[in-house]
Amino acid sequence: MSNLQAGNYHVILKSGSSQNPMGLGVKTDHEGNFWCVVTTGLQTTDIWKLTPLEGTDGFYLSNNFGEGEIFANFATDGGPINLNELDPWNEQFVLRVDDTGDGWVAINNHDQSRVFDATGNDPTVGVNVICFGWNGGDNQRWKFIPV
């Protein structure tokens, strides 16, 4: 488990580089749904709030994209990570942040069966972040940079 504290962060993807960092961002579709995507760098709109769940090793991860706070959840296996209003009774909103042993972390679901995965072995800006089983790729390793 990582030593992250409550706070605001940029979430950087290991697949990027120091000259061209990629991070966790948000997009909306024409129906008003919100999704996690890969974005460029440390954009001011891509600030994520990490909120620990007291008495557990779980967290909520939220963003203030648009009109209000929306929360990441693992709603569909293999599908995009979507963002919605928090449902505290739904375990799909609970995530874990676990060290991968190399200075990066995996963003796991509540039971560690799926992680945030930037689609593809060599992800590019704009691709969806999906929930997928851990395979150890750089497209599944993230770093939380305090804002």
- Distance CA(6)–CA(80), nearest Å, equals 25
CATH number of the domain within which 28 lies = 2.80.10.50
- pLDDT digits 0-9 by tens, 81-133: 999 999 999 999 999 999 999 999 999 999 999 999 998 878 899 999 999 99
Percent of the chain past pLDDT 90, that is, above it, reads: 73
Domain for residue 13, yes or no? Answer: yes
Query: Which residues form the domain of 48?
Result: 7-144
Domain for residue 108, yes or no? Answer: yes
- Domain count for the chain: 1
pTM here is 0.93
Domain for residue 52, yes or no? Answer: yes
Domain for residue 1, yes or no? Answer: no
Q: How many CB atoms within 10 Å of residue 100?
A: 16
According to the model, what pLDDT value does residue 65 have? 80
- pLDDT digits 0-9 by tens, 15-73: 877 778 899 999 998 998 999 999 987 777 789 999 999 999 999 999 998 678 999 99
Domain for residue 2, yes or no? Answer: no
Domain for residue 92, yes or no? Answer: yes
According to the model, what pLDDT value does residue 134 have? 95
